[in-house]
């Protein structure tokens, strides 16, 4: 039997105007944005629709903004009876995956994201760092490079996005040394425009302060399996998910393992729910073209209608 997974994007997928057509069409989407503005005590809706992009991209705004749009798209799909068999979210997007699985309410997911964004922003200011995408080497090869480069400064793997696309994170010195070593192995290195060294030990204090907020949040057993970033495995237990989410800020995003776990469970249709097409693009790279798979993106009314027509 065919199965569908909803994939929820994270930071970096934002664009000015995102979610506006859904806001104008559905009253429940207006409720989601109102809730986000209230919880953040900021004009997230205004930033989503009108920008400027520079302000929208600030971590404290970007994380709740993308979450609001992801949840708006999810709610619009649910209204039309389109529900997934499994879910996953990339970094920030994982909180929306948990909402899709009814492990967290929309409100609780937004509360956690808002706190997460503030803590990560605080640590980015206190402990500046860098991130670099390395294309052309696999996970183990990049791991060996970061091990060698660590003598120059803290550096490790942030994201395993595709078989030969790995993002590293850490101090500017450590990341620069690792990039030099990767180029010596003929890899392509792309500096990322980020305000902090996400998923690194430089975020340790943010992770420490976030953990009790996760532990206090009302998690429920997931209604459907969620592929978790930290483990790369499918999970439904509230107790297990809650414990793993306390480590999410500083742990690598094992996205490659998440997509493989979804595929191995029988998923053959991947729907990116929220702004952008990054995650469906990565899924294609991970699973290859030899499999009979379908990919969709839902970030507004036109492609919502297209997906509902073809699903």
- Location of structure tokens 């306390």: 246
The sign of the CA dihedral 5, 10, 16, 21 is positive
Indicate which residue of 195, 199, 200, 251 is catalytic: 199
- Greatest alpha-carbon span in the chain: 55
**Residue-wise DSSP of 244-262:** HHTTTTTS-B-HHHHHHHH
Residue 108 CA to residue 92 CA, distance in Å, equals: 14
Q: Mapping DSSP to helix (H, G, I), strand (E, B) and coil, where does residue 63 land?
A: helix
DSSP state of 226: E
Residue pair 113/63 in contact (Cβ under 8 Å)? The answer is yes
Paired with 170 in beta bridges are 130, 155
Q: Where are the beta strands (DSSP E) in 211-293?
A: 226-227, 234-235, 267-273
13, 90, 91, 251: which one is catalytic? 91
Q: Is 91 annotated in the active site?
A: yes
Helices (H), the chain: 20-25, 27-40, 44-50, 53-57, 59-79, 94-100, 106-126, 139-149, 172-184, 204-216, 238-245, 255-264, 278-287, 301-310
Q: How many residues does the chain have?
A: 311
Active site residues per annotation = 91, 199
């Amino acid at each position: 039997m065919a199965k569908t997974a909803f994939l929820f994007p994270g930071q970096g997928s934002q664009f000015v105007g995102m979610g506006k057509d859904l806001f104008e069409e559905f009253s429940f989407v207006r409720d989601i944005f109102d809730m986000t503005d209230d919880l953040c005590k900021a004009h997230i809706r205004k930033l989503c629709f009108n920008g400027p992009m520079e302000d929208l991209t600030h971590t404290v705004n970007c994380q709740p903004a993308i979450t609001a749009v992801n949840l708006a798209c999810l709610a619009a799909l649910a209204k039309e009876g389109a529900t997934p068999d499994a879910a996953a979210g990339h970094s920030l997007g994982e909180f929306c995956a948990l909402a899709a699985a009814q492990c967290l309410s929309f409100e609780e997911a937004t509360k956690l994201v808002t706190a997460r964004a503030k803590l990560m922003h605080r640590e980015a200011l206190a402990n500046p760092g860098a991130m670099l995408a390395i294309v052309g080497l696999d996970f183990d090869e990049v791991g060996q490079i970061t091990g060698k480069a660590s003598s120059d400064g803290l550096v490790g793997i942030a994201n395993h996005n595709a078989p030969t696309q790995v993002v590293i994170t850490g101090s500017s010195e450590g990341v620069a040394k690792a990039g030099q070593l990767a180029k010596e192995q003929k890899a392509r290195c792309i500096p990322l425009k980020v305000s902090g060294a996400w998923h690194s030990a430089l975020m340790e204090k943010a992770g420490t302060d976030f953990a009790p907020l996760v532990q206090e949040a009302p998690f429920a057993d997931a209604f459907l399996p969620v592929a978790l970033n930290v483990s790369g495995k499918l999970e439904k237990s509230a107790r297990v998910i809650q414990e793993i989410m306390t480590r999410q800020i500083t742990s690598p995003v094992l996205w490659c393992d998440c997509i493989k776990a979804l595929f191995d469970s029988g998923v053959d249709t991947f729907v990116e729910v929220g702004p952008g097409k990054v995650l469906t693009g990565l899924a294609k790279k991970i699973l290859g073209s030899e499999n009979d798979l379908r990919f969709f993106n839902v970030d507004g009314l036109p492609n919502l209608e297209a997906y509902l027509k073809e699903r």
